[in-house]
Amino acid sequence: KAGVTQTPRYLIKTRGQQVTLSCSPISGHRSVSWYQQTPGQGLQFLFEYFSETQRNKGNFPGRFSGRQFSNSRSEMNVSTLELGDSALYLCASSLEGERYGYTFGSGTRLTVV
């Protein structure tokens, strides 16, 4: 069974630009979460979507946004990029129910120059 697919794997952008990252969850998983990982701040929760609705949002500025489509695929967008947005962005999908672990993708490594 296919895992969580994130595209692209690597991305280099310039300050002020915007970027869109994509995540395709495991088939049947309707919950998709996004996390930012940096050496300084560690892993931080961005937002979580279920059935096209944002259920939870982390403490990030409005430049970070996301959406989920009817096929559960999700995108996150960062506008007006800053150098501090350089990070590994991880997407995770999950089945409903407390016992299910979140399956993560390999991440998109974003570098802002």
Partner 1 sequence: AQKITQTQPGMFVQEKEAVTLDCTYDTSDPSYGLFWYKQPSSGEMIFLIYQGSYDQQNATEGRYSLNFQKARKSANLVISASQLGDSAMYFCAMREGLSNDYKLSFGAGTTVTVRA
5/79 with CB nearer partner 1? 5
Minimum distance of partner 1 from residue 18's CB (angstroms): 23
Q: Whole-angstrom Cα distance, residue 71 to residue 88?
A: 24
Query: Which residues within the stretch 77-106 sit at the binding site for partner 1 (CB under 8 A)?
Result: 88, 90, 92, 94, 98-99, 101-106
Distances in Å between the alpha carbon of 18 and those of 51, 59, 71, 74, 82?
25, 19, 24, 17, 10
Query: Which residues within the stretch 53-72 sit at the binding site for partner 1 (CB under 8 A)?
Result: 55-56, 58
Q: Whole-angstrom Cα distance, residue 27 to residue 36?
A: 23
Identity at 19, one-letter amino acid code = V
Strand partners, 89: 36, 108
Question: Which residue reads 């350089």 in tokens?
Answer: 86
User: Using the rule CB under 8 A, which residue among 26, 35, 81, 112 binds partner 1?
Assistant: 35
14/28 with CB nearer partner 1? 28
Q: Per CB under 8 A, which region of 16-24, 36-44, 61-69, 70-78 contacts partner 1?
A: 36-44
